[in-house]
Structure 1
């Protein structure tokens, strides 16, 4: 499990692959509904069955495929001015996050990921106590923080979404711009991971085997989009974050 050459094969590790497949279906269902969350939902459970340094590049490949497709479909609604304001910080933050991913010990990275996911879940559950409207804040800082979280933990989309939601009045513009910034950030993360030796042919084969899980999750998310209230959706999302992050912490602290 500490070997960076570890590959999650459905033939060699059928039970682990089944857990990963189910996790990815759920993660990309959430991703379709809210525009982020695949790394937050899938990161901790996947780290139970494969090394963290393999999880982040895997999710980057799958995220890029999903978000690039959505961004292209809705490219005419993208708020390019907001996109350009987030871009410089995101590029710099991703580089720093991936560098930390390649240098930190795997156990320390797993524990940090668990704490991060639990913190995000608790923060989301308590978010209703925050003021309803707040200023968006500096785009450069949000881009930088989102990039670091994306490079290190595989999920910075919630930071971009927080800034875009306060900056763009149109829900359609928010979704389209979020899709493009996530597509670009994951594409940049793929380049950085490949440059640091974190992405190889075996991992690409694992990602290819997981593509059906992503497609099932996206299709499922589209079907329940109009059936689930926003309040219940975020309650489910944050509850899953606390549970998955807590499980990862317990495993690596035991």
Structure 2
């Protein structure tokens, strides 16, 4: 079991490097890989607080790039409402089948984005709200709303820096609430030593990701996002 936790460190370094580059993906990548070795209920109280540390720091550092109107008017209300709906649907749906369907949907979005290239023009506001609500539902069902949300925002006119900064604010807010829930149910306290143990890996991943983010061309950044979406979709289908 301790060896499994050591291996998880490599997954965390990879996952948080990817999130520092793109603004999403750390939890779903680390959770999908880590679940091959460890129970999900033990992983989440470790991975979610780690995400708060990185997303909170980077969101504050790049706060001038955050699109606050989009965040407060469109993204957060849709994510919160969708999360409540998804959480309410969980007892009525087969988790394995839903994860498989979700993974296939993400793969479809990602492959379409790779084939179409850069988005042309602005996505209508109603479509962004619809996709954001769907992302919230998937977050409530699977704790994995990132892929659908990033697809919705990647189709807007945001450049790579503003897209990442806005996404980081979303994860900081939602994962702060989730960490509070872990504190209330008692699962956070025993996980704190591991959170501290993995923090240097998070810092390393953040530094490497920041370095790579600055050097990625806009077109390469969009390609990296859709490739990461493909990875997330494959991992979800694998775990279904």
Q: TM-score range by the shorter chain?
A: 0.7 to 0.9
**Ranges of 4+ aligned residues in structure 1 off by more than 6 Å:** none
Aligned match of 1:165 in 154, 158, 180?
154
- C-alpha distance in 1 between matches for 2:32 and 2:97: 10
Deviation of the 1:186 alpha carbon: 1.4
Deviation of the 1:78 alpha carbon: 1.9
Q: Does 1:223 pair with 2:211? A: yes
- Equivalent runs, 1:80-229 vs 2, <5 Å: 80-85=68-73, 86-97=75-86, 109=95, 113=99, 116-117=102-103, 119-121=105-107, 123-130=109-116, 132-133=119-120, 134-195=123-184, 197=185, 199-225=187-213, 226=215, 229=220
Q: Deviations over 1:125-162 (max 9, x none)?
A: 34334584353544543343323333443332333333
- C-alpha distance in 1 between matches for 2:186 and 2:82: 18
Aligned match of 1:241 in 223, 232, 239?
232
- C-alpha distance in 2 between matches for 1:140 and 1:231: 21
Q: RMSD across aligned C-alpha pairs, in angstroms? A: 3.3
Q: Looking at secondary structure, tell me which structure has more helix per residue.
A: 2
Cα 1:83–1:112 shift into 2, 3 Å = same
Cα 1:80–1:123 shift into 2, 3 Å = closer
Cα 1:81–1:230 shift into 2, 3 Å = closer
Q: Deviations over 1:164-220 (max 9, x none)?
A: 33444444332322221221121122234444x273311233322222222222122
Count of matched residue positions in the alignment of Structure 1 and Structure 2: 233
Gaps of 5+ in 2: none
Per the normalisation by structure 1, the TM-score is: 0.73
